[in-house]
A and B are shown apart, each in its own frame.
Chain A
Amino acid sequence: MSELRKLNSGRRKFLQDSAAVGGAAALAGLVPSVALAQGAGKIKIGLMLPYTGTFGQIGVGITNAFKLAIQENGGKLGGRDVEYVTVDDESDPAKAADNANRLVNRDKVDVLMGTVHSGVQMGMVKIARESGVLAIIPNAGVGAATAQLCAPNIFRTSFANAQPAYPMGKIAVDKGIKNVVTLAWRYGAGEESVAGFKDNFVKNGGKIVKELWLPFPNVEFQALLTEIASLKPDGVFVFFAGGGAAKFLRDWQAAGLKGKITLMGAGFLTDGVLEAVGGAAEGIETTLHYGDGIETPKNKAFRLAYAKSFKLQPDVYAMQGYDAGLLLIAGLKAVKGDITKKKEIIAAMEKVEIDSPRGKWRMSAGHNPIQDIYLRKVVGLENKVIGVAQRALDYPPASLCKMPR
């Protein structure tokens, strides 16, 4: 009997001891994170970008350039070391909220950086607004993120979809183009881009004869090219990107429309596709916040450093990732690395003038870049900058963003 009692007390004692050890370990686990929050450990950056699929190259480019910017700053943000947590969002809007949630709540990142696809971005914006985590958008151009759904902790270093298209409206009028047919994929980026062009074009006296839409990502253009030919407008404004843009440019030339009707578009029509279209894009003018041949010391230095590190030429997406790094550096410099001082970081990022490879720019009231939009012309395999379409463009209008100031 007494042996049994001894056994029981032995087991109970063992269980009690284990619980005590477990409790102590849990408490011990909490202590380091408290210490981190006060600024002793590394700053955790959560990278949520596509690393596979159609946009995989873009995700890799943005990450490379972002890390390059941090490296040029001595590998530190505000004097503190940096660690990265990476998630491949696969450009899948269905998984967006879960992915962002995991980074913010499980991995406890200090900054959320991403993404490319506008559908995924909306999932991230939702989590960023709910959690208040500092979020930087290095590409997705969905207008709402810095307008209707703006928030103090959300910043963008790329563009809003309507922004690069807007100046083309006035350029069209200046060229003597009076009536235009628009053609784009019917999704966020296509609709916002056309809206930006239309706003400025109509404001300056132009007339939109017809708005043609194609379901995304349909690339059967023949029927619509035939219709454009029968309408005979002075100019056509389109939004396509990637493989679809390459096909469109070839179809446009094969249909004999090149040279007869002026083709216009935002820069994405001719970015990254010139090798694939074999001269079909020669001479086409587009507007974008970057281009080939920007001969500033900052751009030359950036392109050289990027090419040296990654054996590739940087594109507009990499440049946007680089600026995300510059923005974060400025924000954390102002608080000497204390990531808990969010209000001060935000204030610093709102005021800073980013010395970017694209030129100098500042944040708008909605936290979107106020930047120069360049006019580029396709010459050979380059989108050569031939002028500035509009300086310091702040578009879409700030009135749509209702942030507490």
Chain B
Amino acid sequence: MDFETFLIQLLNGVQYGLLLFLVASGLTLVFGIMGVINIAHGSFYMIGAYLAWSLTESFGNLWAAIAVGVMLSVLLGMVLEWLLIKKLYARDHLYQVLLTYGLILVFEEMRSVIWGDDVHGVDVPRILGASIPLTETLSYPVVRLWISAVCLVLAVAMYVLIRRTRIGMMIRAGASNREMVQSLGINIQLVYRIVFALGIALAAFAGMISAPVSSVFPGMGNQVLIICFVVVVIGGIGSVKGAMVAAILIGLVDTFGKVLHVEIAGVKLLPELAGMTVYLLMAAVLVWRPEGIFGKRL
């Protein structure tokens, strides 16, 4: 591989990683702060994408669709937490998995009823429609660079929110000791509701901004869900910093795993085993540090 191609593949890996971070950050927030495993996380990614498609059809442009879509997602998150999720805090992880798995099935059917089973596309907004020529054959679409930029901005915003604001302090305290925070007079119930709504709004937002490049089709949520859990497990449950590091790592491993040629003792490892690279990485991290790279020591 020449140096130019190597740099481009590096860019591909980082860009994929940043998008993974955006989707997985919501999952790790909900899991780390509220202790709730939300298996339906991928479904919200799908809901975001479908919202982007149908709202763009109604409003005529993607920006309005994203604005309205995010508001709807936050609303959906708050309603879900109030109706169902708050019953899960005292429960075992198994009950959480069962309930949220049921949510996946419900969302899939509702998606089929409301929007149908066809494949749809969201047009890239004209100002992002250009492609930057990198080599004589290959161009890099501006929209992908924009998506990466948005992910970075959101990562910084999340850091500021959690580390530098009062509400962030309440969130972190609530994650450490829920009862104590409550007895200090803080409405921990409202804090949890906000965190859950934030978590799924992040997933839906990721679905919305990546809809122009990923297309909108049934099953897109399930594909993303598995890789999200890998990110969270490698990065450490509840650690947003861990999710960022893990996501970039996975993005790079997945990208280079597909294009490198590695052969050990006559056995062809790459790219034949490209599909396994991410899971092998996860297994290796778990053996070395079971709590993940930045997770709290078990």
Interface residues of A (CB under 8 A from B): 52-54, 56-57, 186, 212-215, 217-220, 222-227, 229-230, 232, 242-243, 246-247, 250-251, 254-257, 260-261, 272-273, 275-278
Contacts and interface: CB of A to CB of B under 8 A. Distances in A.
A377 to B, nearest CB: 20
A247 B223 CA distance: 14
A275 B121 contact: yes
Task: Across the A-B interface, give the 10 residue pairs with the lowest CB-CB distance, nearest first.
Answer: A243-B217, A256-B139, A215-B275, A229-B138, A276-B121, A254-B141, A246-B215, A229-B137, A223-B255, A222-B12
B168 interface: no
B274 A247 contact: no
Contacts of A276: 118-121, 215-217
Q: Which of A242, A251, A254 neighbours the largest number of chain B CB atoms within 10 Å of its CB?
A: A254
Contact of A255 (B2, B5, B123, B139): B139
Interface of B: 1-2, 4-5, 8-9, 12-13, 15-16, 112, 117-121, 123-124, 131, 133, 135, 137-141, 143-144, 212-220, 223, 254-256, 258-259, 271-272, 274-275
A116 to B, nearest CB: 13
A225 B131 CA distance: 14
Contacts of A215: 274-275
Contacts of B2: 230
B255 A225 contact: no
Contact of A230 (B5, B121, B133, B214): B5
Contacts of B138: 225-226, 229-230, 255-257
Given A222-B16, A278-B121, A243 B9 contact: no
Contact of A278 (B15, B119, B123): B123
A33 B218 CA distance: 43
A278 B255 CA distance: 27
Contacts of B12: 222-223, 226
B215 A250 contact: yes
A373 B32 CA distance: 56
Contacts of B15: 222
A52 B219 CA distance: 12
A70 to B, nearest CB: 26
Contacts of A229: 135, 137-138
25 contacts: A52-B112, A54-B219, A56-B112, A56-B117, A186-B275, A213-B274, A218-B223, A219-B214, A219-B223, A223-B258, A226-B5, A226-B9, A227-B258, A242-B119, A243-B220, A250-B215, A254-B131, A254-B139, A254-B141, A254-B144, A254-B213, A256-B133, A256-B138, A275-B120, A277-B121
Given A227-B259, A247-B214, A276-B119, 14 more contacts: A53-B218, A220-B258, A223-B9, A225-B138, A226-B5, A227-B258, A242-B217, A243-B119, A246-B121, A250-B213, A256-B137, A260-B137, A276-B118, A276-B121
B9 A246 contact: no
Contact of B8 (A56, A218, A226, A275): A226
Contacts of A52: 112
Contact of A251 (B13, B213, B271, B275): B213
Given A254-B141, A255-B139, A257-B137, A223 B120 contact: no
A251 B9 CA distance: 15
B8 A246 contact: no
Contacts of A222: 12, 15-16, 144, 255
A223 B6 CA distance: 10
Contacts of A243: 119, 215-220
A226 B259 contact: yes
Contacts of A218: 223, 275
B43 to A, nearest CB: 15
A257 B158 CA distance: 37
B119 A224 contact: no
A184 to B, nearest CB: 13
Contacts of B133: 256
A246 B274 contact: no
Q: Which of B13, B112, B275 neighbours the largest number of chain A CB atoms within 10 Å of its CB?
A: B275
A232 B215 contact: no
B232 to A, nearest CB: 19
B215 A247 contact: yes
A369 B154 CA distance: 55
B255 to A, nearest CB: 4
A213 B259 CA distance: 10
Nearest to A230: B5
A57 B215 contact: no
A215 B278 CA distance: 12
B226 to A, nearest CB: 11
A225 B220 CA distance: 21
A255 B134 CA distance: 10
Contacts of B131: 254-256
A213 B2 CA distance: 21
Contacts of B123: 278
A54 B215 contact: no
A250 B121 contact: yes
Contact of B271 (A54, A213, A255, A273): A213
B209 to A, nearest CB: 15
A278 B121 CA distance: 7
Contacts of A54: 117, 217-219
A133 to B, nearest CB: 30
A222 B120 CA distance: 20
